[in-house]
Amino acid sequence: MSAAASAPPREFRMTTTIGRSKVFGTVGFTVLALLVSVHGAGRFPDPARDSSRAAAKDIQTAVLAGGCFWGVEAVFEQLTGVVDVVSGYAGGPEKSAHYEMVGTGQTGHAESVKITYDASQVTYGQLLKVFFSVAHDPTELNRQGPDEGPQYRSSIFYGNEEQKQIATAYIAQINEAKVFKKRIATTVVPLQGFFAAEDYHQNYLKLHPTQPYIVYNDLPKLDALKAQLPELMKPELLKKKGGTK
């Protein structure tokens, strides 16, 4: 089943309180609001507390939720040290980890990404810096731009105590520094399970770069990453427009 033939347009996705007919009235809202906040505050701060860079290849995983997983997945695929990114669902049971069910907002899941990375090349804290600064707007509660409902919430699903401590410390640091006009809404919760989304959701931005939802809501995130954090990107992607593969 090919992605191009099977993927339902994002503008027709099911949500709890907002119809797809409203998408283009608020396109790019999340990205624009986030970039204004960050640019107004100057350079986004590095996490004061972070994991140590591994001395040798050390493959680890991180699970993050920041609204529609299409754009979040694409952002993290650009980073040096990231081996793989999978779109999926976290926060609910396996039996209801299906697109149509998650879209009701009643399963407990959040659209999430599982990032597999080499800790000798990128740290957990650096991943969180990208997550908070360009991947989504961490001040929005149960929504991201045109997408509304608990399945679009901002959440960090930690896999161990170190990840929990780094995440909670970074949120406190950002709040204290007043990087954003509003306080961080991101929750930090233990990972109970991650379930990969349907095949047509994987690599969606790469396969559908001209879809209106992608153009207005997700490609600006890649531009922001290239402009703000080029040192974290894979060198070969810096030469490409928007950093897309």
Mean pLDDT confidence for 207-214: 97
Q: Concatenated DSSP letters for 34-90? A: HHHHHHHH-SPPPPSS-PPPPSS--EEEEEEEES-HHHHHHHHHTBTTEEEEEEEEE
Global pTM value: 0.86
Mean pLDDT confidence for 115-119: 98
> Are residues 79 and 233 in contact, defined by beta-carbon separation less than 8 angstroms?
yes
> Are residues 89 and 109 in contact, defined by beta-carbon separation less than 8 angstroms?
yes
What distance in Å separates the CA atoms of residue 245 and residue 241, rounded to the nearest whole number?
9
**pLDDT number for residue 244:** 55
- Any idea which residues carry the catalytic annotation? 68
The pLDDT of residue 63 is above 60: yes
Residue scoring higher pLDDT (128 or 6): 128
Mean pLDDT confidence for 133-160: 97
**CB atoms inside a 10 Å sphere around CB 241:** 10
**pLDDT number for residue 239:** 76
